[in-house]
Chain A
Amino acid sequence: MTVVRAVARRLATAAVVLWAAATAAYLALLLAPGDTVDSIIGDGPDTPQIRAQVIAEWGLDRPDVVQYLDYLARAARGDLGRSYLLQRPVSDLIGEHLPATVTLAAAAAVTGVVLALAVALLTAGRRPLLRRAASTTELVLVSTPGFLIGIVLLNVFSFRLGWFPVSGGQDFSALVLPALTLALPVAGVLTQVLRDGLERALDEPFVVTARSRGIRERAVLARHALRHALLPAITLVGWLSGILLGGAVITEQVFGRPGLGQVTLQAVTAKDMPVVLAVVLLSAAVYVAVSTLADLAYLLVDPRLRRS
């Protein structure tokens, strides 16, 4: 019962945040300098017909409050307007390019998490030399811009070694380098958080108790310390989704991969506002959904929070 209430509260919070995010995006559009019609049309073709079409489609002749409510209602239904650059519904455009980006982000997420877990478990607590080497590598990875990682990987593995295609393509080998580019900084941050959590847990009295039962060090890590280390890592999952989506824009640019990133960049350059707004809102929605799931996962891992 208390669990149900906790879940309900988190879902309510998620809804509020999502609503506020949509409102903020809408406000940004309103507060933009110049006429709203200009902002929406951007660098697109500007004819009286198109202006009339924009006014009609966005209902710009209605009172602000009505416009705002209408915008919310349409966004809730998944109607995100039309791209003026490409003259087609934004939802179609996104639906078409989303799979490529999701594939990239998912591959990167899995790679990053697996790498981070492996390195953290191998270096936590002991083996000072290995630990030092790992933490220096992490520092470099999290401080390096994603595009530099991409270009270095491209230079080494595609140009010099010729193991992977230089750009484009949808097959697996074309996915490896972009996914790695996106995964490495993520792995850097996650490893730091996980190792820190592991080492903190290894200092706790319950680990002394566990060791005093004669279990192997592997079991101490896997059965006891790892769960505790996962808790702070789980809170990062929302942030992770943002990094992956934002990073996808740059990675797709570096590797010339089709996807949401290229669509977004094109829209930003062309001031195709409906598309930009839609992508930004979508990313916020992903963030909120993922964070809410992470919160619920937290409840699953930590029984102490289930009470209230």
Chain B
Amino acid sequence: MSTPLVRVEDLHVTFRAPGRDVAAVRGIGFEIRRGECLAVVGESGSGKSVTARTLVGLAGPGAHVRAARLDLDGRDARAFSARHWRQVRGRFAGLVLQDALVSLDPLRTVGDEVGEVLDAHGLTPRRQQPEQVRRLLERVHVPEPDRRARQYPHQLSGGLRQRALIASALAGEPSLIIADEPTTALDVTVQAQILRLLGELRDAGATLLLISHDLSVVARLADRILVMRDGVVVESGVTAQVLGEPQHPYTRLLLAAVPSAASRGRRLSAPVTTLPRTLPPAPVDPSVTVLSATGLRKRYGAHEVVRGVDLSIARGETLGLVGESGSGKTTVAQLLFGTVAATEGQVGFEGVPWAGVPERVRRPLRRRMQLISQDPLGSFDPRYPVERIVGEALEPGLDRRTRRDRVVDLLDRVGLGSDLLERYPRRLSGGQRQRVAIARAIAPRPSLLICDEPVSALDVSVQAQVLDLLADIRAADGTALLFISHDLGVVHHLADRVLVMHDGQVVEQGPVGDVFHHPRHAYTRSLIDALPTPAARPQPTGVS
């Protein structure tokens, strides 16, 4: 075998900031062989992105890179000057970042962006550039390439944008394609398309370095996997082995934390001796309806976002609401919660009319329905410390001591210590914020919790803790959950029944097992087919 394309030994990347140094990567080594797909997996702060960007000399401002060996195509990159690095970028390696809406310059046309590499390296004479851009866009299956090249990124759909970004990385025919979370923030069906495209490139002989937080995303593509945590590689090996027989506890923990059909009824977070591995059953009482909605519609101008939704939730039941972005699921949450008035339709909550009545009428029952949103930070008054944020949700008229004790109890229930009482929301981590939001939401002992993408912004291990917590609360308090998510795995793990939304309508509903195992609607089927699973891809590869 020839020399590997990339060879790294004892790589350290440290960010120098006034007052303190942050070691992002701490002595890792790996190699990328020609024609293989190497995946680096880890949670936020693991150093995976910094590692990838170091290979093109873009570790970031203030980064100090040190390595025993840093060979790119057999050349020692440690001594590279700025000019050398410019030759590496685009020619040796092409970089694909997540979310092309911000990774392509929004003020320039797609054609200009894709053609910039050709310009920078003088690869194509100016006059032939449009032709070359068209060929590149065709290669990533962008329909009507000439028209798309003249458009701006915001005029393209998320999937097309991401394809254009990939085309711009391919333009210089680089030996290595670095894809840093290339499918994050995409809908599941679009993600499947992009993964298929990357698979095509790999099958055509491209060398890929794939960075992801999601083991199931890399499973079908990667030949080998590197698991990183806190700047070091904790495990590496061929994909089937890392996913099938993980050696390191952290890898096992990451795999166990992924919610799916298989994880139903099981705890996702790490084993604790005092707790059973199984989740307590949810006490559903189908005879009592907590919330019901019929014929819900919402129109904004000429655009109807919600087009006739019926649903009901029984006491203690968990109803999953899945759909892709733009399906109208968040609007449904707002209509049910009563912050947005429905154009048409009825909502009943605990047997009382809830929609179309003045807020004054809803007020006595308000505390019975609570909301947890994806970004809890915006739902905290920035002037309040945790104690006041949670305390505000308690019934009025308590004296200071009782209030504080109750807040401490609530924080304890969500696994937070009383040391956070004086903390301001901006100084909390993502997981802590979501737990404070949950503590506040369960404080009035609501009969219904509306959870709108409550774990979408969290790392998988933190997501596991929050999902377990919700399951425990549901069992202990008999609270019904309306669980809104784009993630089928999460819904399958937690929900009793599920509603699938598409274009403002419910296309399918039923018990979660029935819907996901025997989907009847074509859209549900396409969602389920698109779902990546943490199983290694079959070897050897078939042509897709």
Contacts and interface: CB of A to CB of B under 8 A. Distances in A.
Interface in B85-112: 86-91, 93-95, 97, 99, 102-108
A223 B165 CA distance: 18
A211 B93 CA distance: 12
Interface residues of A, number: 23
Interface stretch (B115-123, B217-225, B481-489, B531-539): B115-123
Interface stretch (A87-95, A115-123, A200-208): A200-208
A130 interface: no
B259 interface: no
B97 A211 contact: no
B368 interface: no
B103 A206 contact: yes
**Chain B residues touching A, range:** 35 or more
Contact of B154 (A125, A214, A304): A304
A205 to B, nearest CB: 5
B86 A214 contact: yes
B97 A214 contact: no
A227 B107 contact: yes
Contacts of B105: 206, 209-210, 224
B58 interface: yes
Interface in A209-240: 209-217, 219, 223-224, 227-228
A219 B116 CA distance: 10
A304 B120 contact: no
Interface in A97-146: 125
A46 interface: no
Contacts of A27: none
Given A206-B106, A301-B107, A304-B152, A212 B95 contact: yes
Interface residues of chain B: helix, strand, loop or mixed (majority)? mixed
B86 A216 contact: yes
A195 to B, nearest CB: 15
A204 B117 CA distance: 19
B152 A205 contact: no
Contacts of B86: 214-216
B104 A304 contact: no
B183 interface: no
Given A204-B102, A208-B103, A304-B154, A213 B117 contact: yes
Contact of A209 (B87, B88, B103): B103
B42 interface: no
A303 B165 contact: no
Contacts of B91: 214
Contacts of A204: 102
A217 B86 CA distance: 10
Interface string B169-180: 101100000000
Contacts of A125: 61
Interface in B381-398: none
B94 A212 contact: yes
Contacts of A215: 86, 116, 119-120
Contacts of A214: 86-91, 117, 120-121, 172
B53 A213 contact: no
A212 B56 contact: yes
Listed residue (A213, A219, A223, A228) with the most chain B CB atoms within 10 angstroms of its CB:
A213
B168 interface: yes
A302 interface: yes
Contacts of B172: 213-214
Nearest to A202: B61
A213 B107 contact: no
A209 B95 contact: yes
A167 B86 CA distance: 54
A206 B106 CA distance: 8
Contacts of B56: 212
A209 to B, nearest CB: 5
Nearest to A211: B58
Contacts of A223: 108, 116
A36 to B, nearest CB: 49
Interface in B165-208: 165, 168-169, 171-172
Given A213-B90, A214-B117, A205 B102 contact: yes
Contact of A213 (B61, B102, B116, B154): B116
Given A214-B88, A215-B86, A304-B154, A208 B116 contact: no
Interface in B119-174: 119-121, 152, 154-155, 165, 168-169, 171-172
B165 A209 contact: yes
Given A212-B94, A214-B117, A304-B152, A205 B103 contact: yes
Contacts of B99: 205
Contacts of A301: 107
Interface string B42-55: 00000000000100
A301 B169 CA distance: 25
A223 B113 CA distance: 10
A212 B90 contact: yes
Interface string B333-361: 00000000000000000000000000000
Contact of A302 (B89, B104, B107, B120): B107
A208 B53 CA distance: 9
A208 B100 CA distance: 12
A211 B82 CA distance: 11
Given A211-B58, A214-B120, A228 B87 contact: no
Contacts of B117: 213-214
Interface string A179-206: 0000000000000000000000000111
Contact of A304 (B106, B121, B169): B106
A224 B113 CA distance: 10
Given A213-B120, A302-B106, 19 more contacts: A205-B99, A208-B58, A208-B103, A209-B95, A209-B104, A209-B113, A211-B58, A212-B89, A212-B169, A213-B117, A213-B171, A213-B172, A216-B86, A223-B108, A227-B108, A228-B107, A302-B107, A303-B154, A304-B152
25 contacts: A206-B103, A208-B53, A208-B58, A208-B95, A209-B105, A210-B116, A212-B89, A212-B169, A213-B89, A213-B116, A213-B117, A213-B171, A214-B89, A214-B90, A214-B117, A214-B120, A214-B121, A214-B172, A217-B82, A224-B105, A224-B108, A228-B107, A302-B106, A302-B107, A304-B154
Interface of B: 53, 56, 58, 61, 82, 86-91, 93-95, 97, 99, 102-108, 113, 116-117, 119-121, 152, 154-155, 165, 168-169, 171-172
Interface of A: 125, 204-206, 208-217, 219, 223-224, 227-228, 301-304
Counting from the closest, the 5 A-B pairs by CB-CB distance are A212-B95, A214-B89, A214-B90, A213-B90, A215-B120
